[in-house]
Amino acid sequence: LFEAVELAPRDPILGLNEQYNTDTHTHKVNLGVGVYYDDDGRIPLLKAVRKAELARVEAAAPRGYLPIEGLASYNNGVQTLLLGADSPLIAEGRVLTAQALGGTGALKIGADFLKQLLPQSKVVISNPSWENHRALFERANFTVETYPYYDAATHGLDFNAMLAALESLPAKTIVVLHACCHNPTGVDPSIEQWQQIAQAVKQADLVPFLDIAYQGFGDGLTEDAAVVRLFANLGIAMLISSSFSKSFSLYGERVGALTLIAGSQDEKSRVLSQLKRVIRTNYSNPPTHSGTVVSSVLNTPELYALWTEELAEMRNRIRAMRQQLVDNLKANGVKQNFDFVLAQRGMFSYSGLTADQVEKLRTDHGIYAVSSGRICVAALNSKNIDYVAQAIAKVLG
């Protein structure tokens, strides 16, 4: 049966973890996967999460199946975070959220649902985009193309080309947009540019699929939701995949959500009925633990306040690491200007390192980055930053 099965390549991001785990370099550093580590190089267990977990264990709650679309209090919490407590769309009953298995799970159920709804549509993603976007939509049987996004010459956004490309797409093309902290580049449009992008999407009758996996890692929870709210206020039907992997440091708990904004409450009910079939045939229903923990943090003012403080701490530490990286590269004699790293947002920096340089970082120094040159700034700390800056200086020659 399996004789003809070909060996698949490693996953471009998670495959790096597999390689890293077996690497024998003494000072190895994993800047590959998008995971936040604290200054001691540990993935933090947030205090707010710990408190919610202790309360949950104490309550000794039974573990029955959740509804197919997940925990209602969790789903409501997600909607409030994305759209604001005073959102008229929520009040009108037009917003539907389904707890999903991380942001990836949300994208997958969204993709499967869209394939059923718009079988002829293509999907467009930014050039470049998160490595898994293309693969995921192709697995859902879509043809995936790209729209211009990053300008390597300026380390910034190729805004005019992006806008022109969106304006020329056929109606009902599905456009995947990173609502904040673009992965992998860290380059986001300004809010004024977003206004034009949203108008173009509306004008061309495109289907926006906003992916927001880093809410809170840019400027703050509310600030980072601005783009979601901008699109929502235009009154267009849209999908949003969101994740708490990073903002709650709950990577392995697979805790995310798919949110859809429908034209009416009745439309929403029909969409929900179809989405439930998609979920049921993928994984039946989501897990109780992560949803309950996140829900109690979102819905308990004291825990919510603690969480936002901890999130701010992570955000600020990443910013400090950006500055230190730039300073240390200069101190190590690097002549190229790396100041663009300071303007990038979120966990990542598109460093401009070539695939060969990334390879050299790995083989000579045990430092892992994605072959596109993406490095996870959130994995730098006061103990490894010198080593990393020296190694980068060496590979840059």
**Residue of 211, 224, 307, 360 marked active site:** 211
- Interface with ligand LMR includes 110 (CB under 6 A)? no
Q: Which of residues 127-166 bind ligand LMR (CB under 6 A)?
A: 130, 132
- Interface with ligand LMR includes 250 (CB under 6 A)? no
Q: Is the backbone peptide bond immediately before 184 cis, with ω within 30 degrees of 0?
A: yes
- Interface with ligand LMR includes 215 (CB under 6 A)? no
Among 126, 183, 249, 344, binds ligand LMR (CB under 6 A): 183
Least separation in angstroms between residue 391's CB and ligand LMR is 20
85: left (phi over 0), alpha (psi -120 to 50) or beta: alpha
Task: Find residue 375's DSSP bridge partners.
Answer: 349
Give the single-character DSSP code of 92.
T
Catalytic residue check, 51: no
Alpha-carbon gap, residue 373 to 349, rounded angstroms: 8
Least separation in angstroms between residue 297's CB and ligand LMR is 21
Alpha-carbon gap, residue 196 to 159, rounded angstroms: 10
Least separation in angstroms between residue 212's CB and ligand LMR is 12
Least separation in angstroms between residue 35's CB and ligand LMR is 7
Q: How far is CA 122 from CA 114, 119, 146, 164, in A?
A: 10, 8, 10, 17
Least separation in angstroms between residue 201's CB and ligand LMR is 24
103, 110 in Cβ contact below 8 A? no
Which residues are within 8 A (CB) of 377 and not within 5 positions of it... i.e. 6 or more apart? 31, 318, 321, 322, 325, 341, 347, 348, 349
Q: 347: number of CA atoms within 13 Å, CB side?
A: 26
Kindly report the backbone phi and psi dihedral angles of residue 75, in degrees, each rounded to the nearest multiple of 5, phi listed first.
Answer: -60, -40
Catalytic residue check, 307: no
Catalytic residue check, 246: yes
Size (the chain), residues? 397
Least separation in angstroms between residue 4's CB and ligand LMR is 29
- Interface with ligand LMR includes 258 (CB under 6 A)? no
**Which amino acid would we find at residue 200?**
A
**Residue of 51, 108, 246, 360 marked active site:** 246
Alpha-carbon gap, residue 85 to 216, rounded angstroms: 17
Nearer to ligand LMR, 14 or 331 (CB): 14
- Interface with ligand LMR includes 123 (CB under 6 A)? no
- Interface with ligand LMR includes 36 (CB under 6 A)? no
Q: Which of residues 217-246 bind ligand LMR (CB under 6 A)?
A: none
Alpha-carbon gap, residue 109 to 132, rounded angstroms: 14
Q: 219: number of CA atoms within 13 Å, CB side?
A: 12
Nearer to ligand LMR, 12 or 352 (CB): 12
Nearer to ligand LMR, 33 or 325 (CB): 33
Alpha-helical (H) ranges within 214-287 are 221-224, 226-233, 265-282
Please give the size of the binding site for ligand LMR, defined by CB under 6 A.
7
Q: Comparing C-alpha atoms, which of 156, 212, 147 is closest to residue 187? A: 156
Q: Comparing C-alpha atoms, which of 209, 19, 210, 193 is closest to residue 118? A: 209
- Interface with ligand LMR includes 105 (CB under 6 A)? no
57: left (phi over 0), alpha (psi -120 to 50) or beta: alpha
Nearer to ligand LMR, 104 or 328 (CB): 104
Least separation in angstroms between residue 103's CB and ligand LMR is 7
Alpha-carbon gap, residue 296 to 56, rounded angstroms: 9
Nearer to ligand LMR, 72 or 355 (CB): 355
Among 29, 33, 109, 197, binds ligand LMR (CB under 6 A): 33
- Interface with ligand LMR includes 75 (CB under 6 A)? no
Least separation in angstroms between residue 372's CB and ligand LMR is 11
Nearer to ligand LMR, 10 or 50 (CB): 10
- Interface with ligand LMR includes 303 (CB under 6 A)? no
Position with the least CB separation from ligand LMR = 34
* Binding-residue pattern over the window 3 to 22 for ligand LMR, x denoting contact by CB under 6 A: ----------x---------
- Interface with ligand LMR includes 34 (CB under 6 A)? yes
Nearer to ligand LMR, 37 or 130 (CB): 130
Interface contacts to ligand LMR, rule CB under 6 A = 13, 33-34, 104, 130, 132, 183
Q: Which amino acids are annotated catalytic?
A: 130, 211, 246
